[in-house]
Amino acid sequence: MPDYTSKVPKYNFSDDLQEQQRELSKNPIIRRMDHSRSSMFDDPYRPSYHYVNPEGILNDPNGLCYWQNNWHLFYQGYPPEDPRQHWGHAVSKDLVHWQDLPYAIYPNPEEKCFSGSTFVEKNRVIAMYHGTSAGNMIAISSDPLLLNWSKLTDAPVIKLHSKKIPSEVRVFDPCIWKQGEYYYSLSGGTLPHPYSGKRTRANFLFRSSDLTKWD
């Protein structure tokens, strides 16, 4: 598989909220975002009420969740030094006033980070999303501001055209929830139309007890 390592600098943050806020105040990406917002402040065509990406296009908001007294919004962002989709990130107390945070999820092994959802557990937040050219991915975070994300197994948990999934099944943009002892994922996708042979929209339901192996 090709190396899709992002060119965007990635930073590790502490697990203490006050220390995280201090680190963010000095973070180069946050400073860059602040400068970008300031430079476009007087643009009459730029939304001033709704949240917008501080440095480029915002596409597909994802994974809205409530974690440790904050609302978290993720979205497809396009960093200037590597304009492939990364998961952008912002946090809010009231869903109106938002604070920009560094990019949350970076591509590799997937080519781009497409849409998905989050699921909040007692001690962690699970993000499940589609990684292009790889399959459906899972990343996990547990720090106060969800700044540090690690990908489960560093590989797609539902691979494209894997042996367990029929080759005609194509998956993308999953959601995730838990019922009883199992996690479930509903993934968008396509199947060949039984008469025309053209791709037609379909949804696929998967189940897992450990987030790693899905049936």
Q: Which helix (H) or strand (E) holds 135?
A: strand 135-141
Q: Which helix (H) or strand (E) holds 17?
A: helix 17-25
Q: Show the 3-state SS of 35-97.
A: HHHHHCCCCCCCCCCCCCCCCCCEEEEEEEEEECCEEEEEEEECCCCCCCCEEEEEEECCCCC
Cα–Cα distance measured from residue 127 to residue 176, given in angstroms and rounded to the nearest whole number: 8
Does 109 sit behind a cis peptide bond, omega within 30 degrees of 0 on the bond before it? yes
Length of the chain: 215
Structure tokens that stand for 27 in this block: 């973070």
Handedness of CA 213, 128, 25, 84 (dihedral sign): positive
Among 16, 42, 60, 100, the one annotated catalytic: 60
| Of the candidates 212, 210, 211, 192, the residue with the CA atom closest to the CA atom of residue 202 | 192
60 is catalytic: yes
Residues catalogued as catalytic = 60
